[in-house]
Amino acid sequence: MNAAVSPAIPDPLAQQFVAFAVEAGVLRFGEFKTKAGRMSPYFFNAGLFDDGAKLMKLAQFYAQRLLADGLQFDMIFGPAYKGITLAAAVSIELARLGHNKPFAYNRKEAKDHGEGGTLVGAKVQGRVLIIDDVISAGTSVRESIAMIQAAGATPCGVSIALDRQEKAAQDGVDMPWSAVQYVKQQLQLPVSAIAGLADLLQYLEAVGDGADIAGSRAAVQAYRDRYGV
């Protein structure tokens, strides 16, 4: 997809999610420095889905996207730290919808007493879906893959909230692929994203000139023109 062109037909689920993220204050506009050192006109902080109502709604979006994409998996794995809450919340929502899935997560440091080890929750086995908020560089995904494989299970996909659809950076150099493309092509894992940067642009276009954030569209489009994939 050309970086300057949005999908012709808006995805209703993605549009609802972007609107929800903006209303919840999770998706903000201004000037924000990314891990790659870029000045981004928007910032997505999933840590601000910080109460029961917002987390419940977030889990509903994840579950709806997973079911719509038809990704087959036996259990969910949430990498520490944000993935822990997401794995639990999405497991609850999937169970409510009749798809009861076990979940597990990891500790940052191994526990040397009690059950020990770094993995907590259900036994990691079968086809394992990794769930996180975004994929920034693919590091968390690679670490999760290693833990899942070490447990004798098979990573089968990654579920995220937002695909930034921008070039990855390596040692300060822009790569010709995004972090999500890296996971898909190099790690051979499908990625299920609730929404992407193209969906955000469509949302900003749809809100019209009367909205407080309408002026952000030009900045977001310019950012995508420069860094988009």
Q: Is 12 exposed, middle or buried (0-12, 13-18, 19+ CB in 10 A)?
A: exposed
Contact of 169 with 36, CB cutoff 8 Å: yes
- Of 26, 81, 64, the C-alpha closest to 159 is 64
Provide the residue count of the chain: 229
Query: CA end-to-end span of the chain, whole Å?
Result: 7
Nearest-angstrom CA–CA distance, 85 and 78: 8
Nearest-angstrom CA–CA distance, 21 and 26: 5
- Catalytic residue numbers? 111, 113
In the block, residue with structure tokens 């919340």: 89
Residue 154 per-residue DSSP state = E
